[in-house]
Each structure stands twice: as C-alpha cells, then as structure tokens.
Amino acid sequence: MQIIIVGCGKVGTALAAQLSQEDNNVTVIDKDGEVIRNITALYDVLGVVGNGASYNTLQEADIEHADLLIAVSRSDELNLLCCVMARQAAKCHTIARVRNSAYRKEQEFIRRELGLSMIINPEFAAAQEIARLLRFPTAIEIDSFSKGRVEMLRFKVPSSSGLVGKQLKDVASTHAELLICVAEKNGQVVIPDGNYRIDAGDSLSILVTPKKAAEFFRRIGVKTNQVHSAMIVGGGEITYYLTSILLHMGIKVTIIEKNRQRCEELSNLLQDATIICGDGSDQDLLREEHIDRMEAFVACTDMDEENIILSLYAKDKVSSKVVTKINHLSFNDVIHSLNLDSLIYPKFITAENILQYVRAMKNSIGSNVETLYKLMDDRVEALEFIIHEDCPLQRIKLENMRTKNNTLVACINRKGKIIIPGGQDYFQQGDSVIVVTTHTGLENIDDILDEP
Amino acid sequence: MNRKMLQYVISWVLKMEGILMLLPALTGAVYREKEGLAYLLCGLCCVAAGFLLSRKKPENMELYPKDGYVAVALGWVVLSLFGCLPFMMTGEIPFFVDALFEIVSGFTTTGSSILTDVEALSHASLFWRSFSHWIGGMGVLVFILAVLPMKGGSVMNLMKAESPGPSVSKFVPRVRGTAKILYQIYIVMTLVLIACLLLSGMSLFESLTLSFGTAGTGGFSLLNSGCGTYTETQQWILTVGMILFGVNFNFYYLLLCKRFKAAVLSHEVRVYFLVILAAIGAICVDIRGVYDSMAETVRHAAFQVGSIITTTGYSTTDFNLWPEFSKTILLLLMFLGACAGSTGGGIKVSRVLILLKTVKKELMSIVHPRSVRQIQFDKRPVEHEVLRSINVFLTVYMTIFAASLLLVSMDEFSLETNFSAVAATFNNIGPGMGKVGPMGNFSVYSPLSKLVLTFDMLAGRLELFPMLILFSPSTWKKRG
C-alpha cells in the first residue's frame, strides 16, 4: 500500500518503522531535513522535506497514487489541513491526530464534515487504555481480538494462587474455556506446552472471552474487582480524559497537580473529582492524601523518571493497581526489571491504533492479517487471520498439521462462537483464527506450517 | 560487523554469477565449442559454493553502514575471482593476474584488455567478456536487491555503496521497487539497441555483445581494429547508444512518469549534452583535413567523444594520431565522466558542477566576507554532508591516482602512457593514449602494475570508499 506520513515525531517514526516493515511503500514528510535524513537512513522509506499541507509537497510525495495519508505532526490544525488537502488532491483515506481537548466533543463532526477516515486523540486513547486496566486490575496488559469477543490478558501468578506448582495440562483439563498461550519465567518468554510448570511470579497470557475471565480468576484465587478509588499524579490531558471516564464508572478520583491555574481549570471541568494543588513527588503530601488507602495509583506527570520513582514508592502502598506512563524512555529491559505493574506508552498506543486501521484496510486489498499485537517487548506476536475460500489448510485436523516451533493456534472464532482448539478441531471458510508465535513476519495462515 | 549476513550476501552474488555463466555456456553450445563446457562447469561451481555458504539464513539480517560498504566491495572481489576462472580453465588467458585484470575490466565496465589478439578467443569467452559489462553496468547487488527481500536500513546501505554519484535518489519509497525500475529501464533500452543493430544488418552475436558493451558503457570489442570496420549507420547507432546510457537514469524515470518539464530542467543532463556538443565541435575544427569528408570527420569525432565521456572506450579510429589539442580534450573528458546514476564512470558531471558552485561561493565569500549563500542543485539546496563527501571524494581520488601513477611508472613507460593508463582504468574507460591507446593494449605492463590497475578499476567503479574500507585493517579487527 502507498502510505504518506506527515510529521516524523515519536509517533510518526514508530509508524514509519512498522509500516515499512510490513511491506508498505511509505513516504515521510517533515519540514526538518535533519529528521528526514535520519529516518531515511534507518528505514526503507522515501523522505520529502517540506510542509505537509502544501500541495506541492504532497505532489512530490506522489499523493495521486497514495492509498492513505496519516497526519501526525505537532499541530492539530496542520494535521486537519493536510488531510483536507489530500482529500482534494486524491481520493485517499486520511487519518489525523488531533489532541486539543477543545475539539474532543466535536471530533465526530469534524471527521464527518472534513471527510476523514479516522481521528485519533493520543491522550484519550491512553486514558481509555488506563481505564480498562483499572476496571480489571489483575491484568498487566489487555488486548482484544475479534472486535472484543476475545481478550488476551496478561497477569502475574501470585504465590497464593491455586495454579502454583501445577502443570499446564492439568490446568487445561479443569479450565477448558481458556488457553494459556504465552508464559514468561525469569525473563524468558516461551509458548508453553503441556509440561510447563507454573510457578509463583510467572507472568501468563491467557486467551479468553471477557465473560469467562472473571470466573477464571475467582477460581484460581486472584482478586478481580474493579478498583473504587484512584490517585492520579500530574494533571495533563490524559488525566482529564481518564478522570472523566473513571468518574463515569463510579470510581473516586484524587488528582495532584502542581500548577494552580491548571488545577482551577480541571476543577471547572471535573466537578466531582478531588483536586489537590501540590507537588506529587512530596511524600508527606501523598501520605496526607492517604495514598495507603487508595486502590489504584496512576503516575501521569510529564517526567518519565518521576513517574517511575513515584510508582516504585506507590507499589507497596496501594492495594491493587499501579499504572506508570512513559513518554520517551526506551530502556525497556531496565524498566521491566524494576517490576512496575502496568506501563502505558502513549506513543505506541497511538501507533497501534493507526496500525490496526491500516491492517484492516490492507486486508480488504489482499493481505490476510486482521489484527496484530506485539507482546512482551516485541518478542511474541499474536495475529488474527481470516480463513478465505482458497486457503489450503481448511478441514485439516490440527493434530495432523506440522506447525513451526513456538507457534500456537490459540483460538478459532466461528461465526461468533469462540472455540479453544484441540487436536480434533480444524479451520473452515470464514473462521477467524488467532495464532500466537515467537516468529515474526507471518503474512498468511499457511506461514504457520513448518517448512518441509 | 555482521559476518553471517556478509556471508549470506556473498552467497547470493555467487549463485547469481553461476546462473549468468550459463549464457556463455549456451553460446559455446550453439557454436559447438569445447570452451562452453568450462563455463558450464564454473557456473555449477559458483552455484554450489553459493549454496554451501548460505546453508543457514542468518537470524540477524541487519546490515550496518560499514557492513554495506564491505558487502559491496567483497561482493565485487568475489565476483571477479570466480569470473576469471573460465578464462584460465579454457587456457585462453592462462595467467591468473591477466585473467583477473580482464574480468575486472569487464565487470567494472572499463574495457581495457591485456589480449593482443582478441579475434583468437572463442565465442563463449567473447560473450562472457561483453556480458560482464552488462552485469557490472547497473550493479550486481542492485540486481540482488531487486529479487531478494531484505530489511529496512540494510538495503539502503547496500544501494548507497554500489550506486554511482554523490547521493542516491530513490524513485519510489522502497529500495526494491527502485532497483526493479532501474533494471526494467536498463533491459528495455538494451533490447532496443540490439534491435536497432540487427536491423542495420549486423549478425546476432555481434549485436548482442556490442549492445552489452554499450549498455554497460564497457567497451570490449570483438575485433582487433575496434569498431572501425562497421558501417556508418552502425557506428552512429553505437554513438547514440553510448551517449544515452551515460544519462542519469532518473531522467528516463521522469520521462516514463510523463514529467517532461522536470526531466528537461535537469541541470546535469543539460550540461552533459552541452559538453558533448562542444567537444565534438572543437575536435571537428581541430582534425579537419585528417579525413576525406566532413561527414567522416563529424562521425569519428562524435564516436570518440561519446565513447570517452560515457567511459565506454570503443574506438573507430586511432585517436593517438590526432593532434595534441583533440587528445587533450579527450583526456579531460575521461576525468569528467558521465552523469551520476548512469552506467558510466569517472568523477561524474554532477560532482563537477557542485564543485564549481562551491568554488563560486568561496570566491564570493572572499569579496563579501559576510555573505550567506546556500548552494542549490536543480532548485534544491545541497546538504552540507553532500558537499563534504564530494570534497573528500576528490581528495581521495587524487591521492589514489598519484599513488597508482607512481607504482605504474616503475615499468618505465612514457608519462603519457602511464598517466593515461591510470586515468583509463580508474575512470573505467578502457583505452588510454600512447602504448595503451585504442590500437594497443595493457599486456605490456608488469604483473604488479596490472594488479594496481585492477584495484583502480574496482575502486573507480565503486567510487573509492567501499574498496578503501574493505582494505583498511580496522574493518577486520574483532573489536572496533
């Protein structure tokens, strides 16, 4: 697919990297020549230096033949203008990033009237993600498949759980409705087989329908209740969106923000939240506001380092959930070794949302991947395929299929019915199949086979 | 350095070469020559060696900038080492240094020969010599890029190292797509040339080999007398062919996209044609009276100018006998070379143009010390990095030239012979002046000089840096 990306900041670069790797023809536009030089040296993309809203620049980027334009520059208005220009110049799809909360309410109106395909608000997307975690605090990570019919939940096995010491095949016999598809033990990621022994501290990813998830966690002795109170440090845009969602869910929210003016703004917008003007990195203040009675803690300041330190402090104080927002830092190994609870990377959430749109669009042109998630620092991929009419793997029982090592057919969705497959199951036309694998670059369902 | 990945790239070079060797083997079969068998055998050897090297696909497919240069340089060295095997096996060029010189001259599209009697070669070997021009003209690794899927920055690093010119321009976002378009233009233009030569009454074998030599701007001829015995029409076809293959392929892509205005405005292409016309004019005036008619004078002048500026190296007449002024023009054209992004060699028109603009800017800043002036090329600012790399290129170019000249001069030939020999090989032209002129050849040199000239050819084709990086010790240290 021909894709033009306007703006090469954090999100633009992440998108360019991923999209070019997924075999798209990517052209990037930025007004900074230095940025363009760096990005074209790193990835197989074409760079154009210029203003993305100018018709000349767009022409140079070959807008006539583009299928999709993604505007993720710093300015909302420029992004919208880019998309409008692109719509006029060529009938391509357009995605704009619009982050100003003033446009939040009229987002749908803007999208429809300007003829955009998608408007993404990174702060709102991040807030939604955090809210999802607070609703289900046991999970470290939640990804959904088949339009939300199946979810992949990652959680850490507590030492009190009944699962500890069991082998996977025993678990499978008692819990037939779910599948443990990825396991991480002491930093090693594996696709576990029946002999895998579960220890306390392992982090497991399970594929399950949302309804069954709560039941499973109750049976293995893990608390699943939604939190009732949350403390958020930092009063940025994410905090605003998050608080509105949380209040709507009936969760009590305390916000700590340094800037008095911003506090007043927030208090205007969020009448039901408790807003404290003060330094969130002050221990006394946190104690005074009863951090130890909170069920959840969200570190949402602009400083990644501060967020990490705050979360480390809060980890032992709050009872169920700590969420840390990370903007820039990329030392994943180090951050993971700190054993923080859940991490939120707004730039990846934005990129991931856009990627899903692109994949769905591409799917209508020929490729077969419906959804793709990168899990565990990109070490594992979970892909969803649609079985088309001409698929050669139809009606072959799974036990007769020689699949690659570390590749697992995790779920079959047949007309809305979720099947956790065993050896007797098979694919048929119209199924959507979820495959979990440590290999990368699978493009077609046939790619799961071990090459002869 | 990612050695496993280097090995993988080299294995593909070998496989490709093995397959390409089947064509001369086929020629041998058509003419019922036993030499064809040698090509078949060598081809199989290459393929086998290739498969042996690529048993395992490397896990880390990343090629860092240094690896890109090393892969390209090493690829070309391996290509040449295996390419010279058939010559030795058939016994037509028994000595290793000679065979290596001949095939490097082929792949680098130089066209300098150590053979005293070309006509004694078998058809298979003649075909392989000319075909090597065609392979080397657009680049082996570019071809591999077009067929082999590779990842992100890696491909760009390979492409940068192999393409001629100060900066690489991609036509389409993906390197692979660009490589495909380049080869499509290249193949179609070659086919058109073959068809034209066939229509003019040339035999199929001659049309093929001459077209390969012209397309790659190589210049190995089939006859001891060069191209002098072909008809007037055929000589004109070759002249036009050579000049067109010396044009930046970007120009043709723009034409294909129907962006005629942008194509015509290309500064480099315009200057290129202007220089050609001026040189032909000057030489015509200078050599008037040497030939019988005006038409003949113009034909010889145009052929020689086209042949030298595109660094092809065919000749229809012995320009050694021309007056000094004309010879000097040709010598200067050797250094200028063709356009960037073409199959030709030399310093390249665009580099010279940018250098001249830099000189103008520096002069300006002497007169007006506070003046600010951004250098532009084709209405675009030239980045500082490009300017710097051109300056460094020229410095390295002169250094290697001087060192080579010194080494070659140990053979005690005249300065004209030595100077033009180094110029002709370093710029990938072919014939020089004096003893190595169009009617002479390089067999007179000692083995050491031949090796030096072989290095010059490779360095010239790959634009210096890959070869220097390949031979610098720090590249091969485990750490560093």
Domain edges within chain A: 2-120, 139-219, 229-348, 358-448
Contacts of B177 in chain A (CB under 8 A): 25
The dihedral of CA A435, A440, A446, A448: what is its sign?
negative
Q: In a mutagenesis test of the A interface, which of B63, B150, B155, B156 is the best target, namely the one with the most A β-carbons within 10 Å?
A: B156
Contacts of B174 in chain A (CB under 8 A): 20, 25, 44
More confident residue, A310 or B374: A310
- In this prediction, residue A173 carries a pLDDT of 75
Instruction: Report which of B119, B131, B128 is spatially closest to residue B35, judged by C-alpha positions.
Output: B128
Confidence of residue B151 (pLDDT cuts 50, 70, 90): low
* C-alpha neighbours within 13 Å on the C-beta side of residue B175: 29
- In this prediction, residue A367 carries a pLDDT of 58
For B78, the token pair is 């391996």
Residue A194 CB contacts under 8 Å (≥ 6 apart), including other chains: A167, A168, A169, A172
Look at the block and give the residue holding tokens 């070019």: A20
Rounded Cα–Cα distance for residues B165 and B347 (Å): 8
Residue B413, CA distances (Å) to B111, B116, B194, B331 in order = 21, 18, 39, 18
Rounded Cα–Cα distance for residues A405 and B116 (Å): 61
Rounded Cα–Cα distance for residues A2 and A92 (Å): 10
Query: Given CB atoms, is B281 within the 8 Å cutoff of chain A?
Result: no
CA distance B269 to chain A (A): 21
For A91, the token pair is 């009938």
Instruction: Report which of A5, A4, A1, A25 is spatially closest to residue A13, judged by C-alpha positions.
Output: A5
H-helix or E-strand containing B75?
helix B65-83
Query: Given CB atoms, is B385 within the 8 Å cutoff of chain A?
Result: yes
Would the CB atoms of A45 and B172 count as touching at under 8 Å?
no
CA torsion, ordered A391, A397, A401, A404, to nearest 10 deg:
80
- In this prediction, residue B480 carries a pLDDT of 45
Contacts of A37 in chain B (CB under 8 A): 383, 385
Query: Given CB atoms, is A37 within the 8 Å cutoff of chain B?
Result: yes
Instruction: Report which of B287, B282, B280 is spatially closest to residue B309, judged by C-alpha positions.
Output: B280
- pLDDT (tens digit, 9 = 90+) per residue, A231-271? 999 988 899 999 998 998 888 999 999 999 999 999 998 88
Residue B280: what residue type?
Answer: I
Residue B336, CA distances (Å) to A146, A285, B138, B305, B350 in order = 63, 75, 19, 12, 9
- pLDDT (tens digit, 9 = 90+) per residue, A331-378? 877 887 887 888 888 888 888 888 888 877 776 665 567 777 777 767
Query: Given CB atoms, is A4 within the 8 Å cutoff of chain B?
Result: no
Domain A139-219: which CATH number of 3.40.1010.10, 3.30.70.1450, 3.20.20.10, 1.25.40.10? 3.30.70.1450
- pLDDT (tens digit, 9 = 90+) per residue, B105-135? 999 998 888 888 888 889 999 999 999 999 9
Would the CB atoms of B177 and A25 count as touching at under 8 Å?
yes
Q: What is the mean pLDDT of chain B?
A: 88
Domain A229-348 in the same topology as domain A2-120: yes
Q: Classify burial at A328, counting beta carbons within 10 Å of its beta carbon; exposed 0-12, middle 13-18, buried 19 or more.
A: exposed
What number is the ipTM of this complex? 0.76
Rounded Cα–Cα distance for residues A186 and B175 (Å): 40
Under the phi-then-psi rule, with left for phi > 0, alpha for psi from -120 to 50, and beta for the rest, what region is B139? left
Domain A229-348: which CATH number of 3.40.50.12780, 3.40.50.720, 2.40.50.140, 3.40.640.10? 3.40.50.720
CA distance A42 to chain B (A): 5
Stretch B385-392: mean pLDDT: 87
For B267, the token pair is 């500064």
C-beta neighbour count of B434 within 10 angstroms: 17
Query: Given CB atoms, is B174 within the 8 Å cutoff of chain A?
Result: yes
Beta strand pairing call for A68-71 and A229-233: unpaired
Would the CB atoms of A17 and B173 count as touching at under 8 Å?
no
- pLDDT (tens digit, 9 = 90+) per residue, B166-221? 666 777 888 888 888 888 999 999 999 999 999 999 999 999 999 999 998 888 88
The answer to whether A383 and A372 have CB atoms below 8 angstroms apart is yes
Rounded Cα–Cα distance for residues B159 and B162 (Å): 5
Fold type of domain A358-448: Alpha-Beta Plaits (3.30.70)
Contacts of B152 in chain A (CB under 8 A): 17, 20-21, 42-44
Query: Given CB atoms, is A60 within the 8 Å cutoff of chain B?
Result: no
More confident residue, B268 or A146: B268
Strands (E), B289-444: 376-377, 380-381
Would the CB atoms of B173 and A20 count as touching at under 8 Å?
yes
Would the CB atoms of A20 and B152 count as touching at under 8 Å?
yes
The dihedral of CA B450, B451, B454, B455: what is its sign?
negative
- pLDDT (tens digit, 9 = 90+) per residue, B314-346? 888 888 889 999 999 999 999 998 898 888 888
Confidence of residue B353 (pLDDT cuts 50, 70, 90): very high
Q: What is the 3-state secondary structure (H, E, C) of B92-146?
A: CCCCHHHHHHHHHHHHCCCCCCCCCCHHHCCHHHHHHHHHHHHHHHHCHHHHHHH
Would the CB atoms of B174 and A2 count as touching at under 8 Å?
no
Stretch A422-449: mean pLDDT: 81
Range among A20-24, A195-199, B419-423 with highest mean pLDDT value: B419-423
Contacts of B385 in chain A (CB under 8 A): 37
Instruction: Report which of B439, B408, B437 is spatially closest to residue B422, judged by C-alpha positions.
Output: B408
CATH 3.40.50.10490 fits A2-120, yes or no: no
Query: Given CB atoms, is A27 within the 8 Å cutoff of chain B?
Result: yes
- In this prediction, residue A340 carries a pLDDT of 82
Nearest 5°: the CA angle A403, A405, A409 is: 50
Would the CB atoms of B156 and A46 count as touching at under 8 Å?
no
Confidence of residue A159 (pLDDT cuts 50, 70, 90): confident
For A137, the token pair is 């605090």
Rounded Cα–Cα distance for residues A433 and A411 (Å): 6
For A328, the token pair is 């820039």
- What backbone torsions phi and psi does residue B388 show, to the nearest 5 degrees? -65, -45
Would the CB atoms of B151 and A46 count as touching at under 8 Å?
no
Q: Among B321-330, B396-405, B431-440, name the one with the lowest average pLDDT.
A: B431-440
Rounded Cα–Cα distance for residues A130 and A137 (Å): 10
Stretch B406-420: mean pLDDT: 91
Look at the block and give the residue holding tokens 């080999």: B209
Residue B73, CA distances (Å) to A344, B100, B103, B470 in order = 45, 16, 15, 6
Rounded Cα–Cα distance for residues B345 and B338 (Å): 6
Q: What is the 3-state secondary structure (H, E, C) of chain A?
A: CEEEEECCCHHHHHHHHHHHHCCCEEEEEECCHHHHHHHHHHCCCEEEECCCCCHHHHHHCCHHHCCEEEECCCCHHHHHHHHHHHHHHCCCEEEEECCCHHHCCCHHHHHHHHCCCEEECHHHHHHHHHHHHHHCCCEEEEEEEHHHCEEEEEEECCCCCCCCCCEHHHHHHHCCCCEEEEEEECCEEECCCCCCECCCCCEEEEEECHHHHHHHHHHCCCCCCCCCEEEEECCCHHHHHHHHHHHHCCCEEEEEECCHHHHHHHHHHCCCCEEEECCCCCHHHHHHCCHHHCCEEEECCCCHHHHHHHHHHHHCCCCCEEEEECCCCCCHHHHHHCCCCEEECHHHHHHHHHHHHHHHHHHCCCCCEEEEEEECCCCEEEEEEECCCCCCCECCCHHHCCECCCEEEEEEEECCEEECCCCCCCECCCCEEEEEECCCCCCCHHHHECCC
Rounded Cα–Cα distance for residues B456 and B399 (Å): 12
- pLDDT (tens digit, 9 = 90+) per residue, B283-320? 999 998 888 889 999 999 999 999 999 998 888 888 88
Rounded Cα–Cα distance for residues A54 and A36 (Å): 17
Instruction: Report which of A160, A85, A152, A97 is spatially closest to residue A124, judged by C-alpha positions.
Output: A97
Would the CB atoms of A17 and B152 count as touching at under 8 Å?
yes
Query: Given CB atoms, is A360 within the 8 Å cutoff of chain B?
Result: no
Q: Is B453 helix (H, G, I), strand (E, B) or coil?
A: helix
C-beta neighbour count of A304 within 10 angstroms: 18
- In angstroms, how far is CA B369 from the centroid of its own chain? 42
Residue B179: what residue type?
Answer: A
Inter-helix orientation angle A122-135/A237-248, to 10°: 40
CB pairs under 8 A between A and B: 37
Residue B304, CA distances (Å) to A201, B179, B231, B319, B345 in order = 79, 31, 16, 8, 16
Contacts of A41 in chain B (CB under 8 A): 65, 153, 156
DSSP state of B431: -
